[in-house]
Structure 1
Amino acid sequence: MNFSLKTPLGRFRLIGILEGISFLVLLGIAMPLKYLAGWPHAVKVVGWAHGVLFIAYLIALISVTFDRRWSIGRVIIAFVASLVPFGTFWLESRLKKEQEQTVS
């Protein structure tokens, strides 16, 4: 994974991956620890981290929207991708392919 943190798109792609990982950790590790092992602290910690990353994702989405002049439809797709498990990974792969095509 090669992210250029100098561009809004590069920052958005990186934050999207981190947000997606935090979402999967919350759903796949922290929540089972809370409900199956009786350890609610896991959800508190991972949930907080995921919340911060989700807000960062939304801020990065706004930034890339204005920088790249994305359509409202594209913004909605990017937002919905953050709500679906593995959605940000799917979006990142599409953005990476698109970025590679514009560079070529």
Structure 2
Amino acid sequence: MTETTTTATTTPVNKVRGALLRYRILAWITGLWLLLLVAELILKYGFDVDALDFVPIVHGWVYFVYLIFTIDLAIKVRWPLGKIIVTAIAGTIPFLSFWFEHIRTKEVKAAYHL
């Protein structure tokens, strides 16, 4: 039984599909935790409320996993270094991870006919 591959790389489509799914899930989770982080910072510095002290730590670890999955996908689809860096930075700017997830998903789906 042989797996389908594309002409762009020798990476099997099933591995790209899995890496894309992991990237998409973590892009959304990272974006949501980043929005929660913004709310935490507003509460902390705007209203002197320390109710969400755990959010920066959780977002940091979620972002770390996002970076791993972004690099995993980038290696499988052979993104250039600039695209990897910009996609990685998207997890640090509110709402940008959602937009980049949409753009990168469209690109990968088009390139790999997913």
TM-score (norm 2): 0.74
The runs of at least 4 aligned residues of structure 1 exceeding 6 Å deviation read none
State how far apart, in whole Å, the 2-side matches of 1:33 and 1:99 are.
Answer: 38
Aligned partner (choices 87, 91, 98) of residue 89 of structure 1:
98
More helix by share: 1
8 Å contact 2:19–2:69 — kept in the other structure? yes
Aligned to 2:60: 51
Aligned to 1:35: 45
Larger Rg: 2
Aligned to 1:17: 28
SS in 2 for 1:85: coil
Q: Superposition RMSD on alpha carbons, in Å? A: 1.8
State how far apart, in whole Å, the 2-side matches of 1:37 and 1:46 are.
Answer: 16
TM-score (norm 1): 0.80
Where structure 1 has 5 or more consecutive residues not aligned to the other structure, the ranges are 1-5
How much does 1:98 deviate? 2.6
Number of residue equivalences = 97
Aligned to 1:3: none
Identical residues among aligned pairs (%)? 29
How much does 1:99 deviate? 4.2
